[in-house]
Amino acid sequence: MKRGSTQDTLVDYDIDLSVFDNLMSALVANDSRVAALDTGPEDDAVALELAELLQKFDGDLRTSSLDVLQASLVQASDVRTGVLRIAKTVLYMSLTILVAAMLLFIAFALDSVLTRRALTEKEALLQEAYAADIAKSQFISVMNHELRTPLTSISASLALLKSGVLPHMPAKASRLR
């Protein structure tokens, strides 16, 4: 039998090729008889003989055909199993990517919320610091005024006492000198 893609497929399927080789030998051996057939009644006997010869191969050809069908079904099943395995892998990878994307979205959302919260807290603390600075400045200003006003009077009075402008100093005032 001449080697071709069909024969390669049959070999791949582990099909017995002897049936096809025997059929080919029978066809080659009877080629001249088939070519000499005509449509006349005398050729009917030769045609029946050739049909009986080919009929001998019928069972073996049917068995080989069933073997080829079974082997192709097994191969198709193997391909389907491989495709299903790949599809499952792609599905699991897609689900993993989806979950990771969702987790990243949640992480970014939480980070955004926490950042906004921290910014709000910082702004509140800054406002409190400004208010405390203003209160401190006001307190110092008031205390400066409240302390300076009496001290200026006391200092002026003491300077007046020390200068000797008063002829007679009370006893308590002389102790302040």
Q: What digits encode the pLDDT tens for the residues 143-159?
A: 888 877 777 887 887 78
Q: What digits encode the pLDDT tens for the residues 3-28?
A: 568 888 888 888 888 888 899 999 99
Res. 78: pLDDT tops 80:
yes
- Provide the residue ranges of all domains of the chain, joining segments of one domain with +: 5-56
The model's pTM is: 0.49
Summary mean pLDDT of the chain: 88
Q: Please answer whether residues 111 and 103 qualify as being in contact, where contact means their C-beta atoms are separated by less than 8 angstroms.
A: no
